[in-house]
Chains A and B, each alone.
Chain A
Amino acid sequence: MIKVRNLVKRYGTKTAVDQFDLEVHPGEIFGLLGPNGAGKTTTIRMLTTLCKPDQGSIELAGLDLKTERASVRHLIGVVPQERNLDLELTVLENLKVYAGLYHLNDPKQRIDDCLEQFGLAQERKTQADKLSGGMQRRLLIARALLSRPRILFLDEPTIGLDPQIRRGIWDSLATLRAEGMTVVLTTHYMDEAAMLCNRIGLMSRGRLLMIDTPDNLQIAAGSFMVEAPDNNGFRRTLCRDQEQAEAVAAALPGALIRPANLEDAFIALTGQEL
């Protein structure tokens, strides 16, 4: 569904995305994981036609982004990192404007369906400014889905939201996965990536370091984490199994053993903190 080859984007002397290759399959939820400044948002901007790569090629649903930009725009929905709603307009007006931009012929039913699906039916006449942060985020997703895109891009979909609202957003995204939509999301929340994504690409300093399933990434890094206090805070050691973890812990006073998580794996595999 998405084929990216040797993508490069530079801003002045800084290379934001460097020799980036990616293939996302139809119906897959693919997560781009990395710390701030890793190049995730720049990659999404290139995939969503908002900026042009300096090098490389992008193909979405068989269409070359360079030559068929306008056609590609019909296929994609985008949920940006920032809440870029028209805050002075009502929920309904926001969706009507978007329906116009996507040339929907009979948008009323589709708007009603989206409002219902994202629990916004009661808020249709509410000014977007008056919605809670979680509702605004849901409206952004509803807006992106209005045109029934084949590929949905979400840039940090739950950033700044409290845990309960995050879970609500996850439920919505899980529904999309069940419906077979291809989704690309960026996040730096490990639990989010582990919960939602079929595969994860680890990004660091503009490069895609590795791609695998959340389980395999964790196994590759180690299944158990040994944490022991030392003069600099904590000393952390990833171990492949319980036996190794116990051996390591025995040599470290005050050490604790816990199951490793994806964040541990990310740090071990990239050498960077999230």
Chain B
Amino acid sequence: MHLLNPVFHREMLLLRTKMLRFGYLVSTLLFPLLYLFAFGWGLGSRVVLSGGSYVNFLVPGLLAMTAMNNSFNLSAGSVGMGRLYSRTMQPILIAPVSRCSIVNGYLLAGLVRGLIGCSIVALAALFLFGSASLPLTLPAVTGLLLAMTFFALAGLLVGLVIKDLEDIAVITNFVIMPMAFFSGTFFPLDRIPELLRMVLTMLPLTQANLLLRSQSFTPPALLALCLLMSLCVATYGAAWSCLERYQE
């Protein structure tokens, strides 16, 4: 048992109990599945984007969005709630476990949660629109994993710095939700005013979407890969530093 990261082990035990609750799964996957049904069925066959079907554009975007929501919510919710409300984070903080190990534990847990969410959305897309709608390329898988990594780490960071649990809702409403809509999830960014587009292009979800829609590692895809990897490294460092300096 000691081979398993203890923070990851705890998160998986907690996730198992949560997964058994119907409401948890529904609330987690309601929106991506709703978007998939509404936009996929409603617009899928009527809209053509860049010479391809809208469904083939939408599904990769929804996968990236699901990865972002699930990975971010797991670590932000678990750390924020554990630190400020149930105080279950404190035994972890005073245990002789390295701060890197804590970061790795939440990162792995965020990856698992992201993978579960994405698997369900991918299965629904497969069932509704066939395998052609799924982005089964190396850049896409890499982009998805990097998005999960970044957002799990960002969630950990947010969970560690917030002063109040309502701050998570504020960040979700003012950062995560707008990012879901304006990072090329539902429509390409080419008609957005140039200045705003430049800002939106820098967002991690935009880069993840770019990778998810790439067939190979073209120069823009490689640039997106580098940018996402840099963001992951920077967020990892910030989360680790925040844990090192943490005090109540």
Contact = CB atoms under 8 A, between A and B. Distances in A.
A100 B18 CA distance: 21
A52 B9 CA distance: 28
Given A100-B4, A105-B2, A51 B247 contact: yes
Interface residues of A, number: 33
Contact of A100 (B2, B86, B88, B90): B2
Contact of B90 (A50, A96, A99): A50
Interface of B: 1-2, 4, 6-7, 9-10, 13-14, 17-18, 86-88, 90-98, 247-248
A76 B94 CA distance: 9
B13 A93 contact: yes
Contacts of A231: none
A155 to B, nearest CB: 11
Closest 10 CB pairs of A and B: A100-B6, A101-B95, A73-B96, A84-B87, A51-B247, A88-B17, A97-B10, A74-B96, A101-B6, A51-B248
Given A84-B86, A101-B97, A102-B96, A45 B248 contact: yes
A72 to B, nearest CB: 8
Given A70-B96, A86-B14, A105-B2, A78 B247 contact: no
Given A80-B87, A96-B1, A73 B248 contact: no
B101 to A, nearest CB: 9
9 contacts: A49-B93, A76-B94, A78-B94, A84-B86, A86-B14, A98-B91, A100-B4, A101-B95, A107-B2
A85 B82 CA distance: 10
A89 interface: yes
A159 interface: no
Contacts of B90: 50, 80, 84
